[in-house]
Structure 1
Amino acid sequence: MNAANQSHMILASATSLHASDIHFCPYGDYVYIYYRIHGVRHPRQTITLAQYTPLLSYLKFISGMDIGEMLTPQNGVTTFHQGEKAYALRLSTLPIQETESLAIRILPQQQIPNLDDLFLFPYQLQRMKAWISHTAGLILLTGPTGCGKTTTLYALLQAMLRERSFQTITLEDPIENQLEDILQVQVNEKAGMDYNAGLKAALRHDPDIIMVGEIRDAATAHFAIRAAQTGHLVLSSLHAKNAYGTIFRLLEMGIKKTDLQQTLLAVASQQLIPLLPSGNKEGPLHRAAIAELLEGHHLEQAFQGISPYNNPHYPSFDALRRKAYALGFIDQATL
């Protein structure tokens, strides 16, 4: 089997199983292939290193990487089609002894779900819908990779655009889904188009709303704050353990507490939890989002260093999972 056919077979298998990631892990003369499905990593198959080498070269080539470079990490993007379904693929290599490991993130190009279909508890939706009524400020979604932050950001934008017309610009790396009536900018750091440069250019297009795919560094964080201070509603994501920890992540990036107090409207820290069939809200995905919401009084106290977890009535992740268990949405293993 040639590398192109082998690649197609693996990708077709992964997408049919709704995998979000494929991991190629070389060890000795073999390469172990894993799929991440609903957040859980499953061993799928094993191939020889001799089979893997041409496969790796093929995947690097079609995703725009340098085939001859094996000593530094690389990133690439490509697409995959299976029937009428399209997927964007984000590939990343990591040098190891005598070869490279490869990770592929699979991003289905499908209709963005309604905000109402994403979250397990309706009251959380109502709070988030209230946030997007603001005309200026910063709204942050946080959580680990693969928890659905970008999907929620897309759903928030669509909910806003159904209400009225906004000049909306997104800066993404990569663009995970094509959105109607939104200017989507692909960040390309190799070409000098990083988040900071993209934000500067976006501000010249008179935006009402700016979505920054991810705040990755201090420069982007400072620019997002400045954009929010100058009358724009800015939506973005950030890696943080929980909602309260988001404050400290931004302070570590050099953001002044006074600037945060003036611009940060709310934080939603998101997790996806597997549902029992009777509690399924997402059709074949069998997962729904829960979120720690930091806003209002709790947000004001967080700026003063007072943790919301000191309040027994604060809906933390632990409390939300207990509620989901009591209502029969999840089993005891998910607690």
Structure 2
Amino acid sequence: MINIYSATRFIQELLKIATSSNATDIHFFPDHTAVLIFFRINGERKYHFKIHHNQYRIVLNHFKFSSGMDIGETQKPQDAALQITFKTTNFNLRLSTLPVKQMESLAIRILPQLHAKALEDLILFRYQVQQLKRIITRKAGVILLTGPTGSGKTTLLYALLEHLLIEQAYQTITLEDPIEKEMLNFLQVQINEKGGMTYHTGLKAALRHDPDLLMVGEIRDQETAEFVFHAAYTGHLVFSTLHAKNAAGTIHRLIEMGIKHIDLCQNLIAVAALQLIPVFYCQQKKRRAAILEILSENNLTAYINSLNESQLIHQTFNELKRKAFAYGYTESATV
């Protein structure tokens, strides 16, 4: 039985098991008789074990109290961030509660505080690594990474910025909600919408701080999108992310947000849409690596002008999956 004194130990043990399994998320799923605990590993949700409702309430309240959530609020969703140190390793946890019929559900995203990975460790095809390295040598403009939640957009952003900082001592400012990894070479700004530090407010302040590179964690609305493109006009290189199904869909999202055709043509350097696929490495062990739909230079300008996907000349996700299968990286061409 978990009590208030052993909740910390239970949480540490749960994190130990989750991280040793390379889990990216922990889900607490209440049903009528117990609370089921699932891990998301390599994109797949896997059952771990279950605990009693009373045990779960103690664990949930411990998380809510430690992260600054309102323990008494059980009828509205809440979000928070929490840092935990376990055996000299720091973890940033993103917490989300959701009221359901039985009680509140809890989802935890695990963000290990490790150095940014090399681009070669994140991207499956080496020629796409080289393509990205060429793209990010530009001095001004907007580079967007797109894809669904959990596709590795922010992880790849950190790796790109780290690669640039190895080459030159750029003044780099990031605006994030939350800050997923603490990086020594970046000036990292925590976005706090409730406290008045919005992406728009943070961008205005960051531009007065003489940056060479700006990283905006996510373009969420028209105001932020317009300011990102304005920053590119003033001679800054801006990296950001956006939720979109594929590279072509990113252009449609930006147009829906009110970004003008001329701004896209003059300032958008590249769009790289990500998908993570399971691949073999090191004696048939599995991990996930990114494949990229990339629009840049001539093919990007041509698509902005025509918005006709049938005329696009670029490798699609389906083509990249077939190539990964042909090279023996994957078990199937339709992963």
Same-fold call, TM cutoff 0.5: yes
Confirm or deny: 8 A CA contact 2:61 2:71 kept in the other structure.
yes
Pairing 1:67-146 to 2, within 5 Å after superposition: 67-146=71-150
Tell me the equivalent position of 2:301: 300
The answer for the alignment partner of 2:329 in structure 1 is 329
Helix, strand or coil: the match of 1:191? coil
Separation of aligned partners in 2, 1:74 and 1:305: 43
Superposed CA RMSD in Å reads: 1.7
Secondary structure at 2:194 match in 1: helix
* Number of residue pairs the alignment of both structures matches: 331
Q: Compare 302-311 and 248-257 and name the one that shifted more.
A: 302-311
SS at match of 1:43: strand
Q: Per-residue displacement from partner, 1:176-227 (whole Å, max 9, x unpaired)?
A: 1122221111111121111111111101101111000111111111111111
Cα pair distance change 1:334/1:14, threshold 3 Å: farther
Equivalent position of 2:315 in the other structure:
315
* Residues 42 and 208 (structure 1), Cα distance of their counterparts in 2 relative to 1, 3 Å cut: same
**Kept after mapping to 1: 8 A contact 2:325/2:333:** no
Alpha-carbon distance in structure 2 between the residues aligned to 1:90 and 1:309 = 40
Whole-angstrom distance in 1 between the partners of 2:322 and 2:251: 25
Q: In the aligned structure 2, how far is the partner of 1:111 from the partner of 1:60?
A: 28
Offset at 1:248? Answer: 0.7
> Are the equivalent residues in 2 in contact too, given 1:119–1:288 (CA < 8 A)?
yes
List gaps (5 residues or longer) in structure 1. none
Preserved CA contact (<8 Å) 2:321 2:333: no
- Contact 1:274–1:334, Cα closer than 8 Å, also in 2: no
The partner residue of 2:30 within 26, 29, 34 is 26
Q: Match of 1:105, SS?
A: strand
Give the TM-score of the pair, scaled to structure 1: 0.94
Deviation digits for residues 266-322 of structure 1, max 9, x if unmatched? 000011111123587xxx8722111000112221222134444555x6311100010
Which blocks of at least 5 consecutive residues in structure 2 are unaligned? Answer: none
CA distance in 1, matches of 2:57, 2:172: 43
Normalized against structure 2, the TM-score is what? 0.94
- For residues 305 and 26 of structure 1, do their structure 2 counterparts lie closer, same or farther at Cα, with a shift above 3 Å needed? farther
CA contact (8 A) 1:244 1:307 kept: no
Cα distance in structure 2, aligned partners of 1:214 and 1:57: 30
The CA deviation at 1:330 is: 0.6
Q: Deviation at 1:167?
A: 1.1
Is the Cα–Cα contact under 8 Å of residues 137 and 228 in structure 1 kept in the other structure? yes
Shift of residue 15 of structure 1?
1.4
Moved more, 160-169 or 317-326: 160-169
Q: Report percent identity of matched pairs.
A: 52
Instruction: Say yes or no: does 1:233 pair with 2:237.
Output: yes
Q: Is the 8 A contact 1:278 1:329 kept in 2?
A: no
Tell me which residue corresponds to 1:204. 208
Q: Are positions 1:38 and 2:39 aligned together?
A: no
